[in-house]
Amino acid sequence: MTDIVVKTVEELKDAPEEYREAVSKLVISHAINELYGAQVFDEPAIAYAPTPYAKWLTCRVAMEEYGHHVRFKQLGTQIGIAEERMVPGTGKKPLSIFEFPLKTWEEFVAIKLLADLAEILQVEDLLHCTFHPLRNLARATMPEERFHAQFGEDFSAELVKTPDGKARLQAAVNEYWPYLPSFFGGSKSRNNEIFRKWKIKQRTNDEMRQDFVTRATEVASKYGLTLPEIRQAA
């Protein structure tokens, strides 16, 4: 482990190159994935929401996800990352889950229930980050991510009230769940090793993945849902 604390964007300029590159990679990753999520899932979901109440709630969720992209992009700009590196289609490959366009309201509820739990774990891992501007950004983002996961729980609770609704939600869970554990990266990730070396992140990808599977299983079972077996989970 290497002890270093970077309290400001200014101080980052004097940090070791490996540290600066690691911070940049994380900021780019979050900026791009927040934007993909908003574009591929949250904004299209507004059309599928069944009532004005659900539509405007989804609007708010979409705007907060876009807002997360804006915040990460602003931090990226402050630390010298070119804007075009923080938007999709300019190099970094998106997560596989973003390759499946949203088709139903139930799919969106399943994504909020499970994929946003994965986002919570990712943000949690930054809450003790040694680069304090990123740590502070994670702290600002966390309440909104928790609200999005709660959105997933609230609408899951609504859907499972009827056998048909529960079946449709379970089908959506079955479709999306297999893609989620890979959200946490490879078991032998060199990037993750560097993040932990500098205490930018705290846990290995496998530790986070196992925690996610445990927590996702718990939250799914609250609503009588099951998670299908997946080969690479845990």
Interacting residues toward another protein by CB under 8 A = 47, 51-53, 55-61, 63-64, 66-67, 69-70, 87, 147, 151, 154
User: In the complex with another protein, which residue's Cβ is closer, 35 or 216?
Assistant: 35
Amino acid sitting at position 130:
T
Residue whose pair of structure tokens reads 């080969």 in the numeric block: 231
Closest CA to 139 of 219, 196, 71, 41: 71
Closest CA to 79 of 36, 5, 25, 119: 25
User: In the complex with another protein, which residue's Cβ is closer, 92 or 197?
Assistant: 92
Amino acid sitting at position 144:
E
CB of 63 to another protein, least distance (A): 5
CB of 88 to another protein, least distance (A): 11
CB of 21 to another protein, least distance (A): 25
CB of 69 to another protein, least distance (A): 7
CB of 171 to another protein, least distance (A): 23
d(CA 29, CA 119): 12
User: In the complex with another protein, which residue's Cβ is closer, 60 or 197?
Assistant: 60
User: In the complex with another protein, which residue's Cβ is closer, 58 or 130?
Assistant: 58
User: Which segments of the chain does DSSP mark as H helices, in order?
Assistant: 9-12, 17-37, 43-48, 52-78, 105-124, 132-159, 163-176, 190-197, 205-222
Half-sphere exposure of 133 (CA within 13 A, CB side): 20
Euclidean distance between the first and the last CA atom of the chain, given in angstroms as a whole number: 25
User: In the complex with another protein, which residue's Cβ is closer, 62 or 169?
Assistant: 62
